[in-house]
Amino acid sequence: MPFRYTFLLFTVLSPFGTSPSEAYRDDMYKVPNGDRFNCNLCHSNSNPLPGEVGFPLNPFGRDYGAVRSQPKWNSTLAQKDSDGDGYTNGEELQEPTGDVFKWEPRSIGFEVWDLTAGTPTLARNPGDSDLSVPQVRFDPIRPDEYTLNVGETLTFTLNGRVTVPGRTLTFTLAQELEGARITDNLFTWTPTRTQGGNQNIGIHASDGTSIVVRVIKVNVLGGDAPSSGPDVPVERVQVTVSDFTVTHFDFDGSLLVDLTDFTQFAAAYGTSLFQFDFDRSGRVDFRDFLFFAWFFNQRVDNTTLIATPARDQIPFVPVEGGRSVQLIGGLFQQISVGKHLIGKFEITNRQYRNYYNANNQFPEITPFPLNGKSFEDRVLEQPDHPVVGVSQTQAEAYCKWTGTRLPLFKEWSFAARGTGLRSYAYGDFLEADRANYLENGDPFEPGTTPVGYFDGRLHQGFQTRDSFSLYGAYDMTGNVWEWCADTREDITPNQAPIAGGSYLEPNFSSNLKLGTASWVPVTEQRVDVGFRCLKEQ
């Protein structure tokens, strides 16, 4: 692999026959992790050698780069092939929208690029701390506290998950404990008399790249409890903030660590409730408060990425499913929905273009022109806006190509609000900083906003609030109507429902409310209708 990359680096940015600007523009995607946006990825910062043309080439495995805060490419990172394609080539880096980092910045001057269009300004290479390595966690997240007698055997199964397909999760003891064994994810331990008292057992889970620790608390009765005096200190597994994820502190499952979670924690303060004793000191105290404060107001990321045949990836979020009574079409109806994954965002122009190109740009899958602009123009100008001008037939074909399908209207409604009766996907009131509707004041008015735009950040002087649905999907109120899979033949033939309302709906429109469906012909291509996909489980 190093020989391949060295040859590639030489041929991509060789000073012979290609100007630096051409190499920068045309070949930046071909080098390993081409996310530097400067020639230092392949060339050193030193002056040209006497008598030589251009800068000396960067040998593979060497660190060069002007921005010292950014991770550099090296031979160690070359081994972090988390997508299993045989190369560490930048496809391990993911945007929040789930797009592979293929880096198509917009030029705003000579070798000056606009990196703000859905592209983070600081990219991280695979293997750089815990910000980019595949996530590993135990299930359930909050373990039980066990109590048993000396001579009895404690047995439980260790479960967990990894985010990279094909990896195996391995469990090991964090430190040796007499009599404890882990075999095929089954933990067994029979404590002896000398092991009486409270025992904190550390267990590591690793997928080969990332390691997390879980502490199991066991109260052993009938043994010789160790002294807790100063002469014989009790050894405890050291627990730090890095041992946790934000999910541990989302007690109410709202996907946000907020005041409701703090209220539950505060009620446990001063007690010995194990769930809130994060440092495993035996008491919920100020140090546990510091643990909680570290994660306060953070968002739980429950994203699952699914690759398409074009090798880009679509983010999904899990929906538990169940039975509920929903207000649909002005009537209360009982619905039953199975467990599934719903698209975290509406399908974008960029994602549909990958499908469009992979299928030879056939006319029957071409989106309808919008305001005199062709689909290709919209991709160039608004790659991360939802694709519009597609019929239900075209939307269903895209989903089928990705191994998914369009959601039924009841599935779409359940993913937006679960078993509750909230009026909008994010809550009970329509608010201008939480959804895209007519004259809400966002910089794109009147028009679509990038998917996931209302995420709590400041965009072009417009402050948004994080506005995800009950299960973590965005833009299920406003932005664009979304096709559903239902069809009807009894009233008006060949019609299908669209849901969610759009940027053309005024604030008093009932179309923005959940449970409202508008039935339109399946072949209709509208400037305010897009779609998202559903993956069955």
The answer on 171 and 218 residing in a single domain is yes
- How far is the C-alpha of 320 from the C-alpha of 323, rounded, in Å? 10
Q: Domain limits at 496?
A: 304-536
Residues 158/187, Cβ–Cβ less than 8 Å: yes
Of 176, 145, 141, 146, which is closest to residue 158 (Cα–Cα)? 141
Residues 199/235, Cβ–Cβ less than 8 Å: no
Residue 83 clears pLDDT 60, i.e. is over it: no
pTM for the structure as a whole = 0.57
Q: What's the pLDDT at 6?
A: 31
The answer on 315 and 284 residing in a single domain is no
Complete DSSP assignment for 118-140 = S--SS---TTSHHHHSPPEEEES
Q: What is the arithmetic mean of pLDDT over 84-107?
A: 40
The answer on 453 and 314 residing in a single domain is yes
Q: What's the domain count of the chain?
A: 4
- How far is the C-alpha of 481 from the C-alpha of 437, rounded, in Å? 11
**Percent composition of the chain: helix, strand, coil (DSSP 3-state, to 5):** 20, 25, 60
The answer on 462 and 363 residing in a single domain is yes
Cis peptide before 191 (omega within 30 of 0): no
The answer on 461 and 345 residing in a single domain is yes
Least confident of 65-79, 168-182, 251-265, 288-302: 65-79
Of 322, 296, 342, 376, which is closest to residue 475 (Cα–Cα)? 342
Name the token pair of 165. 């397909």
The answer on 78 and 17 residing in a single domain is yes
- Which amino acid is residue 468, in one-letter code? F
Residue 39 clears pLDDT 50, i.e. is over it: no
Residues 268/280, Cβ–Cβ less than 8 Å: no
The answer on 154 and 28 residing in a single domain is no
- Domain final position from 107, 129, 151: 129
Q: Is 379 helix (H, G, I), strand (E, B) or coil?
A: helix
Residue 89 clears pLDDT 90, i.e. is over it: no
Q: What is the arithmetic mean of pLDDT over 73-98?
A: 43
- Calculate the CA dihedral of residues 361, 365, 369, 374 and round it to 10 degrees: -10
Phi, psi of 46 (to 5 degrees): -75, 170
Q: Sign (positive/negative) of CA torsion 510, 513, 519, 524?
A: positive
- Rg of the Cα trace of the chain? 27
Q: Which comes out higher in pLDDT, residue 166 or 141?
A: 166
Judge residue 29's burial from the number of C-beta atoms within 10 Å of its C-beta, 0-12 exposed, 13-18 middle, 19 or more buried: middle
Q: What's the pLDDT at 383?
A: 94
Percent of the chain with pLDDT over 70: 66
The answer on 380 and 514 residing in a single domain is yes
Percent of the chain with pLDDT over 90: 38
The answer on 433 and 355 residing in a single domain is yes
Q: How confident is the model at residue 215 (pLDDT cuts 50, 70, 90)?
A: confident
Q: What's the pLDDT at 202?
A: 83
- Domain final position from 86, 110, 129: 129
- Which amino acid is residue 59, in one-letter code? P
Q: How confident is the model at residue 158 (pLDDT cuts 50, 70, 90)?
A: confident
- How far is the C-alpha of 502 from the C-alpha of 528, rounded, in Å? 6
- Which amino acid is residue 481, in one-letter code? W
pLDDT tens per residue across span 459-506: 989 999 999 999 999 999 999 999 999 987 777 778 999 999 999 999
Q: How confident is the model at residue 426 (pLDDT cuts 50, 70, 90)?
A: very high
The CATH number given to whatever domain includes residue 214 is 2.60.40.10
pLDDT tens per residue across span 169-211: 888 888 888 889 998 888 899 988 888 888 888 888 877 655 6
Q: What's the pLDDT at 68?
A: 37
Q: What's the pLDDT at 50?
A: 62
The CATH number given to whatever domain includes residue 410 is 3.90.1580.10
Mean pLDDT of the chain: 74
The answer on 211 and 170 residing in a single domain is yes
Q: How far is CA 464 from CA 386, 442, 505, in A?
A: 18, 9, 19
Least confident of 111-125, 236-250, 292-306: 111-125
Phi-psi map region of 118: left, alpha, beta (phi>0 left; psi -120 to 50 alpha): left
- How far is the C-alpha of 201 from the C-alpha of 175, rounded, in Å? 8
Q: How confident is the model at residue 458 (pLDDT cuts 50, 70, 90)?
A: very high
The answer on 476 and 342 residing in a single domain is yes
The answer on 477 and 432 residing in a single domain is yes
Residue 411 clears pLDDT 90, i.e. is over it: yes
The neighbouring-strand residues paired with 204 are: 172, 213
- Domain final position from 236, 270, 285: 236
Residues 74/63, Cβ–Cβ less than 8 Å: yes
Q: What is the arithmetic mean of pLDDT over 501-517?
A: 92
